[in-house]
Amino acid sequence: MTMTPPRSSSAGPPSPAPGPPAETGTPRAGRLRTFVRGRWLRTIPGRIGTHVVLCLAAILALLAVLTVAIGNARDSVQTIGEDAGPQVVATGTLYFALSDMDAQVSNILLIGRDHDLGIGYDESLKVYERRRAEADAAAVQAAQLAGSDPALRRTVQEVLDGLGKYERLVGRAMELDAQADHPPGELPQEVVDAYREATDLMKLQLLPKAYNITLDTGAQVRQQYETKRSAVLAGRTWVAVTGLLVLLLLIATQLYLARTFRRVLNVPLVLATLAALALTAVGAGLLTAQAGHMRKAKEDGFDSILQLSRARAISHSAFADESRYLLDPGRADTYEQTYLDKSLSVIYPDLGDKPVNLENYYAGLEGTLGSFKSGQDDVPFLGFFGDEARTVEQGREADALQKTLQAYRIVQRHDARMRQLASSGDRAAAVDVRMGRTSNAISDFGAYDKALSELTAVHQDAFDEAIADADGGLRGWNAVPAGGAAVIALLILAGVRPRLAEFR
């Protein structure tokens, strides 16, 4: 019988059955390591998620750019249309009001005891008081515009202080004039001396400072306009670039899903792409339109209104120089030269090689305006009306300018007649022409002033229309960018959600 040898005692006990592997960390920690190592990008859901995140980030960028650009457009409308722009135009009346105040004083003194000459003593005094109130209101506007600008605030304060001194000097001149009870155009020397002190203060201090206030505040508005308009146009560029980025990302997402899932179109993504295209195009178009409205408001409105207000103020001041020329023979040559300088600033005709004097000015003006038709390309004169003629538009604006130019010719004809009589020694007849007793000088100057005001009103209408269009175009755009971005985002999520659901 065969014996089975015993097992070696060196053999160990049997090995236990293998158990489950030990856990090396939490599931969350594992997912975090996967994310950090970028393994999720190797999966289809991860890649879809990447597309979604990039699209949503681009949409947020488009929303931010649109919001900033539209905010700049709204600020530009507020600045030039409702705040600084109208205030600067109002300060432009400061120069006019001060000029006409002195003009009324010169008329009052010139007519002497004949209170019915011109527009009459009482009416001249009423106009003087009205202009003084306008000057006070315009100075307040200028003070508001000055803000924290110390130089501008100091200039405004100097005008106000000087205006008070001027009124005291005028009061003294009128008091002496009433006591003298002189015939028209024959002022006692003491009245002339008192008026000289007052008008010198006006011409040498108040008017230059008032003119500088309008120039300075106008320059501030133009600088703000240029800054805001540049920001709007830059915003338009950023909207176009950001919108293009959104479109490219959406198209890339659409193509990825089409290749991966073998479907031709993802309808929600197509709608999202169309919505993004519409938001970008409409937003860029809006900003383009806003820049155009601002340009029209400034160039066709603000600039022309300010320029014509200066022409009106200088015209009134020149008209007053006629009275000064007659009431102060000692300074007649000075006032004649001053009148010529102011007339040249309004219209500077082509004088050729002739000396620049009033006689040649009259002839040059007749020759230039006699054949000129408003709206023609070649404008043969300079000055405020020359600048206006070079930018005039056919229609109502051109007709108003033509009417103004012809009225100005008539005003200058009366001036030539008045000076001819004065030079010949017939001062009484010259006063009668100037004050309208034997001429239509005052009524014709009123017709010129009315025509100039109507021309200004045309530009005011253009300004108001441009601002109204700009305001209307921005209406509702507080909510449009955010609403459009939300719709696009929801469409993107709606487009990828069914695809992600296939992996659950």
Written as one string, the DSSP assignment of 2-62 is PPPPPPPTTS-PPPPPP-PPPP-S-HHHHHHHHHHTTGGGGSHHHHHHHHHHHHHHHHHHH
**To which H or E segment does residue 115 belong?**
none
The residue ranking higher by pLDDT, 91 or 10, is 91
Rank 44-48, 190-194, 433-437, 477-481 by mean pLDDT and report only the highest.
Answer: 190-194
Q: 415 pLDDT exceeds 90?
A: yes
Q: Which residue has the tokens 């040498």?
A: 204
pLDDT given at position 245: 93
Q: Which residue has the tokens 């490219």?
A: 248
The residue ranking higher by pLDDT, 195 or 34, is 195
- As a whole number of angstroms, the distance between CA 100 and CA 132 comes to 9
Q: 293 pLDDT exceeds 80?
A: yes
The residue ranking higher by pLDDT, 155 or 29, is 155
- As a whole number of angstroms, the distance between CA 269 and CA 495 comes to 6
Could you give phi then psi for residue 382, rounded to 5 degrees?
-110, -165
pLDDT given at position 1: 42
How many CB atoms within 10 Å of residue 193? 14
The pLDDT-based confidence of 50 (bands split at 50, 70, 90) is confident
| CA angle, 195 then 200 then 205, to 5° | 140
Taking a C-beta distance cutoff of 8 angstroms, is the pair 474, 294 a contact?
no
- As a whole number of angstroms, the distance between CA 447 and CA 408 comes to 9
Q: 30 pLDDT exceeds 90?
A: no
Q: 41 pLDDT exceeds 80?
A: no
Give bridge partners of residue 381 from the DSSP assignment. 349
Q: Which amino acid is at 63?
A: L
Could you give phi then psi for residue 349, rounded to 5 degrees?
-75, 170
Span 160-184, average pLDDT? 87
Q: 198 pLDDT exceeds 80?
A: yes
Span 30-40, average pLDDT? 50
pLDDT given at position 10: 45
- As a whole number of angstroms, the distance between CA 272 and CA 265 comes to 12
pTM over 0.75? The answer is yes
The residue count for the chain? 504
pLDDT digits (tens, 9 = 90+) for 94-142: 888 888 888 888 888 888 777 777 788 888 889 888 988 888 888 877 7
Q: DSSP class of residue 357?
A: S
**Three-class SS string for 131-169?**
HHHHHHHHHHHHHHHHCCCHHHHHHHHHHHHHHHHHHHH
The pLDDT-based confidence of 279 (bands split at 50, 70, 90) is very high
Between 12-21, 34-43, 397-406, the lowest mean confidence (pLDDT) is in: 12-21
- As a whole number of angstroms, the distance between CA 374 and CA 379 comes to 9
Q: For the chain, give the mean pLDDT.
A: 83
pLDDT digits (tens, 9 = 90+) for 297-325: 888 888 888 889 889 989 988 998 998 89
The 3-state DSSP class for residue 392 equals coil
Span 212-230, average pLDDT? 80
The residue ranking higher by pLDDT, 299 or 240, is 240
Q: DSSP class of residue 204?
A: I
The residue ranking higher by pLDDT, 91 or 36, is 91
DSSP 3-state helix, strand, coil percentages of the chain (rounded to 5)? 80, 0, 20
Q: 35 pLDDT exceeds 50?
A: no
| CA angle, 447 then 398 then 368, to 5° | 75
pLDDT given at position 26: 54
Taking a C-beta distance cutoff of 8 angstroms, is the pair 258, 474 a contact?
no
The pLDDT-based confidence of 385 (bands split at 50, 70, 90) is very high
**Three-class SS string for 421-458?**
HHHCCCHHHHHHHHCCCCCCHHHHHHHHHHHHHHHHHH
Q: 340 pLDDT exceeds 90?
A: yes
